[in-house]
Structure 1
Amino acid sequence: MIQFKLLGPLQLHVHGKVVDLGPPRQCSLLAALLVDSGRPLTIDTLIDRVWGDSPPVAARDAVYTYVARLRGLLTEATAGTGGPPVQVNRGSGGYMLSTPPDSVDLWHFMDLVDRARAADIDDPDRAAQLAAGLNLWNGSAMTGLDSEWARRLGESLHRLKHEVTADWADAEIRRGNHSLVINRLHTALLEEPLVEGLHERLIRAYFLNGETALALRQFELARRMIADELGADPSPGMRELHSRILRGDLPELDTPVHPTVNVRSDSDGHRAHALTLAVAPDTLPLAPLGFSGRDAELATLTGMLTDDPAPRPVLVTGGAGVGKTALVLQAADCLRDDFPGGLLYADLADEPSTTPEMVLGRLLTALGTPADAMPSGLAERVNLYRARLARRRVLVILDNAATEAQIIPLLPTGSSSTALITSRFALGLTTVRTFVLHELSRTQGLQMLVATVGRARVLPEWEDAGIVADHCSGIPLALRAVACRMTARPHWTFARMLARISDEQRRLELVSYQSLDMRASLDLTFEQLDTTAATLFRELGRQAPSGADFIAPDQPGLSPDELEDAMDRLVDAYLLSEVGRDDTDRALYRMLDIHRIYAKHLGD
């Protein structure tokens, strides 16, 4: 007898004996074929399932090698079993594994669930079929397979298992087997303590078994857990059940509604399922090309989210164009394996479509919430969003935040999911850690120029290129604009660029190129300033020295405290830096040349 097991560690059992399936990548390839057994898979699909976005150069050769080994292994292991042979064949559509449908536990499970859900609600076989399906599980699905695809599929199957457990509990409660339900749900909730549907069935089973006190105790336990982990209230269904128990009413049994599992007939007339399982959402935009010079910052940021099993959200702040979004997107890409529940992205730039309600709607849609089930109010969307994230380990990117009010409704709660936030302002969020991203050093700026323009042009003019980087004030956006301008003009030398960018009248023009607009980026920051801070910033453009420290200039109509507060607001917007105190204990400040030139032009 041949049995392939995917609902737990990947295994092949032949007459009860476990067969060694080879190295991990070979096992991943076998799992990829088993999930779609009887259907051809292209080599590109297999490579994606085994290696994800980082396949080796020789991935195709590795697929050929693994397939050859699997053919020999399966032929030897299944010889003499008396059943149909297990084969890996190649056709025009790719590689296909042929094995008896009932030999793969995943397909047996799906078939049992399909039959149970298609049966009448009071059919006595319904509970038996669901229980038989659940008994096929041996831990977490696809364990031991080191691929992003396997982890995502395993997570989807895990959620399906708990849906089936809830179906089974409903069926047994209808049959009056309340004690059986109580015992099994206690075990299921040890594995997934935040599944409200299982708590609800356990509460119902306690009450119908005559144990009202235990039912109320279970509700209170669930309520506290949901509040502590999710910062939310129990679902309306649980609250209604609680009210009925307090009134002594018999809780109603809901009729389960599930999307049916698609069933097709293949060319041989066998029943087969079109397995459609939700994969982890990934809505990240592409990270900017030419990312370089930030190795230390990238290591620090990723470490903040991996050193702690329950990481707090991190706020990445810094001035306009300093590369906050590029760093965060690069970090998120590096952390894919640490957040198998998905990667979500929301741009919070101030537009009518970026209210918390609208952003939550887009995030909930990405998490699989259908339009007809989308709550209308902010509080309801927040509760649903946090409940969805509590069941997954998701990294949420909140880009271009301007205020604390934008962020707070979008923060995950609990210990599983977390957030990376970017803002060009120093925000006062006590529940997050702050990572300040500074401008690049000359060496880092040269690395960025080399990455874009190329060594052949930068190395011969190393000193001139370094001074060009200095004139960009270490701001990556300005450096990228200069690098792209140089790339578009291969006949230009860095000496020529230096002669032009040294002229402050032309510098803002040269540090912008097409969509890389340094002036527009600074405009976004300046427009958020209050009138007093904006006026002071313009004045600093006229008075602040280049590359030297200075004290706050006197401003008619402002007291010393008001002047210091206005200077602090410019510091918070990263348009100014406080660098120390003078001999009379007055604050010393410094401006980047690009900021000073921009402020001066505002006053023209």
Structure 2
Amino acid sequence: MDHDRTFSFTLLGAVSGYRDGQELALGSPQQRTVLACLLSRDDKPVDIDELIVAIWGEDPPKAALGAARTYVSRLRTILEPDHRDYGGPRLLVSVGTAYILRMPPGSTDVQLVEQDVAAANAARLAGDLSRAHRLLRRAEQRWRGVPLTGLVGPFAEHSRDQLVQRRLTILEKRFELDLILGEAAVAAADIDPLIAAHPLRESLRALQMQALYQCGRRAEALSVFTDVRRVLTDEFGIDPGPRLTEIHERILRSDTGLLPAPSISSTAPAPAQLPADIADFTGRSEFVATLRRQLTATPGTAAPICVVSGIGGAGKTALSVHVAHAVRDQFPDGQLYVDLAGQSPRPVAPRDVLGHFLRSLGVEQPSIPDDQSARAALFRTLLANRKVLLLLDNARDSSQITPLLPGCSGCAVLVTSRARLAGTPATGVDVSTFEPNDAVRLLGKLIGGQRVAAEPESAQQLAALCGHLPLAIRIAACRLQGRPGMRIADIVRRLADERRRLPQLRSGGLDIRSTFQLGYDQLDSTLARAFRILAVPGIESVPLRWAAALLDLPEPDTEDVLDRLIASGMVQATGTGGCRFHDLLRVFASDLGAEIDSDDDRRAALSRLLSFPLTTVSNAYRTQRPGHSTGKRRLGAPPGSGIEFSDFSSAHSRFERERGLMRAVLDQCLRQAPDRQQTVAHVVMTLDPLSEWATRDHESSKAVAW
């Protein structure tokens, strides 16, 4: 065999053959049928009986055997006219009663079509949709008309039907890519002539409906379904299949998922949107280590979500930005950032955030869906198989971040929020105030270590008066930076007056009161009132029973209110079911109460609160003097409230534990409820045998007349 010779054969149209570019005279239709049958077997043997059936069917003429052998012999001569001259193996060989036509792969247009389709499938799997589309187009163009034109017999008829169906399948693959690539008009035009020949092919009808829908021809798309359903019902008594029905339902609800895939810029850089790292970042080493570990843990089935929560001014954003920079190398496909403005009157809507993120990932504006759900689905699709870090700053609640969460495990999400985001599958940390030493270290970084070293005690006092809150320390430092001659002790003196403290913590665009106000404005009227009233006694921690007295609520209702306040981040939980104020937030709440609540309301709250220790003291008094009613009568204690004690020892222990609380409450009563001074004096005198501190710490109370 001369290996330099090349052959090519056409079966997708009129059967023809070429050797070295020269067309071969293939003979009669029957002889061409034998050639087509041999070529279709791809180097596999075809028995002489199969060839006879292929040409004449099950009732061949008597001379069929001889005629078939003659056709094979003539084909040998046509394909290898000079075989005797060069020798070598034959192309068309006999194997017993069968024949094999040996041709290299790709010798027929049918084989070339299958090679194109296989390459297109591989390209589509690799995400190269444009290449897949080009390959399918090329496969489609290899058809030159009706397959096996001019041939007759069972083989030709059966093979022709198979090749027609194969072409339809390939066209449908191409139409699918047309729709994905935004070429719906082309698909709609090419589908139309096929419908006439295949009106009940549901897969083709589904593509027609989607193409019309993408072209904005929604009514026409729906009418296609109506027509098909009518024909199927009238002629066959069946309904359309699930695929056609699903497309119909999705068009009815204007599903944007049927619209073309977004146009994505191939030149868009990986987003790097993190704010600048904090140059003077201080402390928080344990939090940093925890968050780094959580964000970069071995991927599971979902992206890690870490929430940094805490009161306003605690440094949640600073911590999160610092951690994000520390782990950014683990997310080479980009870092996305957004300030959700959760504490503002108009927080950023998830739909708008998704639009921003999609543009950041290279999606061109016309390709961004209008619907939030469609945007979220597209966002998750783009993040699949990518490693992207999301920093969602200042979230209001879980509903604001849920649509923004990726669906793949390779990404990670870091969220900051004053509120605890219930319902979010997240880990994280609850950031509070600085440790005292870290607070002083930050002050030194901001105003200079020499100034702090010159006034170490004042620096400690300043940090304490700021409640060790990072934002408050920064504001105080800004005031010192602006006045190099000011001593730390000077600002300490100003902050020492609680009534002037919050106004002093304001500098430039930083204002501690405004920061707290943002959180307060998110409270409903019930929580806002509770926040103010709980600050009336001026104590840091408010036990549950004391809170119930202040709010004039049953304990179960009080627990609900406290839980909601704690979730808002405006107060903190205690281990005993009550709540605890940060010192500056307590001052803020007290100032608000003085502005909003009437004096009568505040005095009434104190009076209710005083009734609790009144009865408690009376109960304790009876453990010291069993059966003696003087204490209860003298105090005028209301029945049914207060704590019961079994003996004097438990009463004494209880009062020693709550010494600070009781003293603070009685002090506030003396200042704010002068009409209850005699009652306060009675409480103090009754406490004398219970606790040594009573008379020692309340000399002013003793002066009140009996």
1:247 to 202, 216, 227: 202
Q: Shift in Å at residue 442 of structure 1? A: 0.4
1:573 to 568, 577, 580: 568
Structure 2 counterpart of 1:326 = 318
Structure 2 counterpart of 1:386 = 380
CA contact (8 A) 2:295 2:413 kept: no
Structure 1 counterpart of 2:506 = 512
Alignment of 1:517-536 (within 5 A): 517-536=511-530
Hey, what's the Cα distance between the residues in 2 that align with 1:260 and 1:297? 38
1:552 to 540, 543, 547: 547
Alignment of 1:50-449 (within 5 A): 162=126, 165-176=128-139, 208=166, 247-249=202-204, 277-310=267-300, 311-349=303-341, 350=344, 352=346, 354-449=348-443
Q: Shift in Å at residue 469 of structure 1? A: 0.6
3-state SS in 2 of match to 1:558: coil
Structure 1 length-normalised TM: 0.57
CA contact (8 A) 1:361 1:374 kept: yes
Deviates more, 1:365-374 or 1:305-314: 305-314
Q: Which amino acid aligns with 1:596?
A: R
Residues 294 and 306 (structure 1), Cα distance of their counterparts in 2 relative to 1, 3 Å cut:
same
Q: Which amino acid aligns with 2:444?
A: V
Structure 2 counterpart of 1:204 = none
Deviations 1:478-499 (A, max 9, x none): 1111111111111112222211
CA contact (8 A) 2:376 2:403 kept: yes
Q: Which amino acid aligns with 2:374?
A: E
Greater share of helix: 2
2:455 to 457, 461, 472: 461
Structure 1 counterpart of 2:534 = 540
Hey, what's the Cα distance between the residues in 2 that align with 1:208 and 1:451? 75
Residues 556 and 540 (structure 1), Cα distance of their counterparts in 2 relative to 1, 3 Å cut:
closer
Hey, what's the Cα distance between the residues in 1 that align with 2:309 and 2:418? 5
Hey, what's the Cα distance between the residues in 2 that align with 1:602 and 1:260? 52
Q: Does residue 502 of the first structure (1) align with residue 492 of the second (2)?
A: no
Hey, what's the Cα distance between the residues in 1 that align with 2:406 and 2:438? 34
Q: Shift in Å at residue 544 of structure 1? A: 3.4
Q: Which amino acid aligns with 1:419?
A: V
Q: Shift in Å at residue 381 of structure 1? A: 0.6
Hey, what's the Cα distance between the residues in 2 that align with 1:558 and 1:259? 59
Q: Shift in Å at residue 555 of structure 1? A: 4.1
Q: Shift in Å at residue 318 of structure 1? A: 0.5
Residues 211 and 580 (structure 1), Cα distance of their counterparts in 2 relative to 1, 3 Å cut:
same
CA contact (8 A) 1:577 1:591 kept: yes
Q: Which amino acid aligns with 2:431?
A: L
Deviations 1:558-592 (A, max 9, x none): 222111211222222232223223xxxxx343222
Hey, what's the Cα distance between the residues in 2 that align with 1:447 and 1:392? 40
Deviations 1:332-369 (A, max 9, x none): 11122111111111111145471111111111111111
Q: Shift in Å at residue 548 of structure 1? A: 8.3
Residues 343 and 545 (structure 1), Cα distance of their counterparts in 2 relative to 1, 3 Å cut:
same
CA contact (8 A) 2:262 2:368 kept: no
Structure 2 counterpart of 1:146 = none
Q: Extract structure 1 runs of 4+ deviating beyond 6 A.
A: 209-212, 234-238, 250-254, 256-261, 547-550
Hey, what's the Cα distance between the residues in 1 that align with 2:363 and 2:263? 14
Q: Percent identity?
A: 32
CA contact (8 A) 1:555 1:563 kept: no
CA contact (8 A) 1:467 1:498 kept: yes
CA contact (8 A) 1:356 1:409 kept: yes
Residues 208 and 391 (structure 1), Cα distance of their counterparts in 2 relative to 1, 3 Å cut:
farther
Structure 1 counterpart of 2:626 = none
Deviations 1:83-108 (A, max 9, x none): xxxxxxxxxxxxxxxxxxxxxxxxxx
CA contact (8 A) 2:264 2:364 kept: no
Residues 259 and 403 (structure 1), Cα distance of their counterparts in 2 relative to 1, 3 Å cut:
closer
Hey, what's the Cα distance between the residues in 1 that align with 2:424 and 2:263? 43
Hey, what's the Cα distance between the residues in 1 that align with 2:460 and 2:400? 39
Structure 2 length-normalised TM: 0.49
Hey, what's the Cα distance between the residues in 2 that align with 1:493 and 1:502? 15
Deviates more, 1:283-292 or 1:437-446: 283-292
Structure 1 counterpart of 2:654 = none
CA contact (8 A) 2:548 2:555 kept: no
CA contact (8 A) 1:547 1:593 kept: no
Hey, what's the Cα distance between the residues in 2 that align with 1:547 and 1:377? 47
Hey, what's the Cα distance between the residues in 2 that align with 1:502 and 1:573? 28
Hey, what's the Cα distance between the residues in 2 that align with 1:168 and 1:430? 41
Q: Shift in Å at residue 249 of structure 1? A: 2.6
Hey, what's the Cα distance between the residues in 1 that align with 2:261 and 2:549? 71
Greater gyration radius: 2
Q: Shift in Å at residue 281 of structure 1? A: 0.8
Hey, what's the Cα distance between the residues in 1 that align with 2:385 and 2:442? 40
Q: Which amino acid aligns with 2:136?
A: I
Q: Which amino acid aligns with 1:571?
A: I
Pairwise CA RMSD of aligned residues?
4.1
Q: Shift in Å at residue 527 of structure 1? A: 0.9
Deviations 1:355-410 (A, max 9, x none): 11111111111111111111111111111111111142111111111122111111
CA contact (8 A) 1:321 1:521 kept: yes
Hey, what's the Cα distance between the residues in 2 that align with 1:530 and 1:484? 34
Structure 1 alignment gaps of length 5 or more: 1-123, 136-158, 179-206, 220-233, 262-275, 582-586
Residues 237 and 316 (structure 1), Cα distance of their counterparts in 2 relative to 1, 3 Å cut:
farther
Residues 360 and 430 (structure 1), Cα distance of their counterparts in 2 relative to 1, 3 Å cut:
closer
3-state SS in 2 of match to 1:506: helix
Q: Which amino acid aligns with 1:545?
A: I
3-state SS in 2 of match to 1:316: strand
Hey, what's the Cα distance between the residues in 1 that align with 2:483 and 2:271? 41
Residues 380 and 547 (structure 1), Cα distance of their counterparts in 2 relative to 1, 3 Å cut:
closer
Deviations 1:1-45 (A, max 9, x none): xxxxxxxxxxxxxxxxxxxxxxxxxxxxxxxxxxxxxxxxxxxxx
CA contact (8 A) 1:397 1:420 kept: yes
Q: Shift in Å at residue 423 of structure 1? A: 0.7
2:588 to 561, 578, 598: 598
CA contact (8 A) 1:577 1:590 kept: yes
Q: Structure with the greater relative contact order (CA < 8 A, sep ≥ 6): 1 or 2?
A: 1
Hey, what's the Cα distance between the residues in 1 that align with 2:570 and 2:351? 31
Residues 377 and 248 (structure 1), Cα distance of their counterparts in 2 relative to 1, 3 Å cut:
closer
